[in-house]
Amino acid sequence: MAGGQVLLRVLDSVRKVTGQPIVEKFINPGTLGDTDESEIYGRLPQWGASLSWSFARTVVGFFDLFTMSTDMATCSSAHIGTLIGVNPVSKQSLFQFPIYFYERQTTMANIKFFSGKTTPIEMHRVRIIQKLNLRPIDERWEAIKQAGNNTFLLKNDDVFLDMLTDSGVNAMSNDQLAAMSQADDSYAGSATFYRLEKALQEVFGMQYFLPAHQGRACEHILSKVFVKPGQVVPMNYHFTTSKAHITVLGGEILEIPVKEAFEMTSDCPFKGNLDIDALKKVIAERGKEGIAYVRMESGTNLIGGQPFSLENLQEVSKICRANGIPLVQDVSLLSDNLHFCKQREEKCKNMSIHEIALAFAEASDILYFSGRKLGFARGGGICTNSKQYYMTIRELIPLYEGFLTYGGMSVREMEALAVGMYETLDEDVISQGPQFIEFMTNELVKLDVPVVTPPGGLGCHLNARDFLAHLKPEEYPAGSLASALYLISGVRGMERGTLSEQRNEDGTEPIAHMELVRLALPRRVFTMSQIVYTVDRINWLYQNRHLVGGLKWIDEPKILRFFYGTLEPIGDWQQKLIAKFKEDFGDSL
């Protein structure tokens, strides 16, 4: 086809296909075309055709085309279909001919070893490196003292393996880095913004997008719009900043996850589910006016990165819509949740990752995210299909973030984020993190080290309450464990327990449901040998756990104290731990 118009249609009987060879051979650049398949649309510009898009949801299934390879050596099971060219105006048939569509083989996550081992394989090549430092233990002791036993306050030069967070520290792909070079830094009307907007529209099927500089900026704005004093926000579990934004406005959070959420050792596949009966009870007691919105957090951060099921989300959505209550979903950790739904939920096994993502979005009134997690860049945003919500929220973006076409984000990061959103639909990309976490968790289970199971997303979670069972909750066992682990290994983890809470209004200490040390595994950053090293040092620490004591405050901020508060050890337990380390390891780092 040269010039004119062409309509690309994928027949219902064809699944997981690549149309690139056909497009490249038969459709010349400059042809105006339409397609009823969203992921073909996303790839056609790269194949040379300039398209306008007509999207029909009546197509049976979406096809995970983004992950398809045009190399026939990586494909199997050819399917015969038909490419039909139709003039969209006259409906006149332009051409029709048989073609072969190729189904891609199963994801690389299913590689098996002859030995029977289940070691995950890095699905990337390392092309750029950053040198690491492993300081001697005496230097690490000085560093943790200077940081007030708060791993957030450690200098990165003093850290060997940084497992504090995955926020903004995931490794970008070569496609993301390349995309950054085309950034349009216009203050208003930037082409970069429209590329990101288009990517989000395609991935989520939501019409409106408002940019923000990161996830907590979205929380701030949503709280400003929806939360009134005395209202409650029911949720599967809170995140530190989401709670702070709600409570500072006089609202209250109400955590109503399923009972399995707080079971450290469990085989429940979806510990992030919201308790449906509890939600109904809250609505009956508080009424629509007493509830600001219902919040669902994918990959619930503070309870071990545990996912919720698509079925649970849809049940929550049905209840919310029946009662006129907005359902807001934090999708910062969506990629992990998509992976777990695909692997663990029966209704999702035959769905593509894109189908699951669309279903997540369809069930929600508002999505918000941190691009530092979702998309492997730095930024954030709010998506919705509601024009009313869009118009209301829109007014606060220029006030707090920046103009509507950048929202406080770097345009280079926006370009990377657009590519990262498409990469989120690639099973090989989103499966590697959970596989590494599962491997690390299972290795620690073999050593009887207490960890959260089943393995979740984001990172491996140590159960500090059982790890340091001799400590009182008020002695901050998770904070002590994080400090001790850095001291004996150079590995920086994050306290996710009572230290991460904020005091009650009467000054009492709210004891967290869980005392965890999160060892985040930023995607495509660590090698398997580094995971093995970390497991080894944790095992040694567990064997010597009786030496670890508690912490007490030196400087305790009132808000988000875990970020910048400082503490000191109770007694001389750190000196004793260092002495034992030197006895066992000699001059080893």
The single residue of 9, 373, 412, 465 carrying the catalytic annotation is 373
Q: Which of 340, 467, 562, 581 is catalytic?
A: 562
Catalytic residue among 496, 518, 524, 537: 496
Reported as half-sphere exposure (CB side, CA atoms, 13 A), residue 351 has a value of 21
187 included as an active-site residue: yes
- Cα-Cα-Cα-Cα torsion 562, 568, 571, 573, nearest 10 degrees, comes to 70
User: CB–CB of 366/388 below 8 Å?
Assistant: no
- Do strands 75-86 and 93-104 pair parallel, antiparallel, or not at all (unpaired)? antiparallel
Q: Distance (Å, rounded) from C-alpha 286 to C-alpha 252? A: 12
Lookup: tokens for 13: 């009987």
Alpha carbon distance 266, 260 (integer Å): 7
> Is residue 507 exposed (0-12), middle (13-18) or buried (19+ Cβ within 10 Å)?
exposed
- Rounded alpha-carbon distances, angstroms, from residue 284 to 1, 274, 287, 294, 489: 61, 16, 6, 14, 51
CA 560/CA 216 separation, integer angstroms: 12
Query: Annotated catalytic, 369?
Result: no
Which residue, 553, 537, 557, is CA-closest to 545?
537
Catalytic residue among 239, 270, 360, 476: 239
Residues linked to residue 130 through DSSP beta bridges, in sequence order: none
Hey, how many other C-beta atoms are within 10 angstroms of the C-beta on 100?
13
Give the 3-state secondary structure of residue 219: helix
Say which amino acid occupies 570.
I
- Output b/e per residue, 428-452; b: 16+ Cβ within 10 A: ebbbbbbbbbbbbbbbbeeeebbbb
One of 240, 241, 300, 498 is an active-site residue; which one?
A: 240
476 is catalytic: no
The DSSP H or E segment spanning 494 is strand 494-496
**β-pairing verdict for 551-555 and 516-520:** unpaired
Q: Specify whether 558 is catalytic.
A: no
For residue 330, indicate whether it is catalytic. yes
Catalytic residue among 158, 275, 330, 426: 330
- Residues 513, 514, 515: CA angle, nearest 5 degrees: 135
Question: What positions carry a catalytic annotation?
Answer: 187, 239-240, 330, 373, 496, 562
